[in-house]
């Protein structure tokens, strides 16, 4: 009866060679992700809606977060406070416009 055994060292050596091959291939051919930008007529870049420069609410949030961090360093800032204050300000403006008859 023939006894066949699995050569674990040969398997480990083969796996290491495969891993090295993948590492070499990744160094030679790195993963590239295409990036799209919107160009203006002058040829410059116009910020998209998904950037802080293109979204006024996100820009205000970032300014508010910076202000909160300066006032209360090393404290957790609850972003829901920004949302609640923004909603209250919008309700106040709407009430003012309704009273003035411009809404």
- Interval 38-75: pLDDT, tens: 655 555 555 555 565 667 888 888 888 888 888 887 77
The pair of three-digit structure tokens given for residue 32, joined into one six-digit string: 């590239």
**pTM of the full structure:** 0.40
CA distance 58 to 64: 10
Residue 17 has a pLDDT of 95
Structure tokens at 60: 């205000």
At 10 the three-state DSSP class reads helix
CA dist 68 and 40 (Å) reads: 35
Tokens for 33? 């992700």
């Amino acid at each position: 009866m023939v006894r066949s055994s699995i050569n674990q060292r040969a398997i480990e050596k083969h796996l290491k060679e495969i891993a090295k091959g993948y590492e070499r291939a990744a160094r030679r051919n790195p993963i590239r992700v295409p990036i799209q930008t919107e160009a203006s007529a002058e040829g410059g870049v116009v910020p998209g809606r998904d950037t802080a420069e293109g979204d006024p609410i996100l820009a205000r949030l970032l300014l508010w977060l910076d202000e909160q961090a300066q006032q209360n360093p090393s404290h957790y800032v609850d972003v829901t406070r920004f949302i609640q204050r923004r909603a209250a300000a919008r309700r106040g403006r709407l009430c003012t416009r309704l009273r003035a008859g411009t809404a």
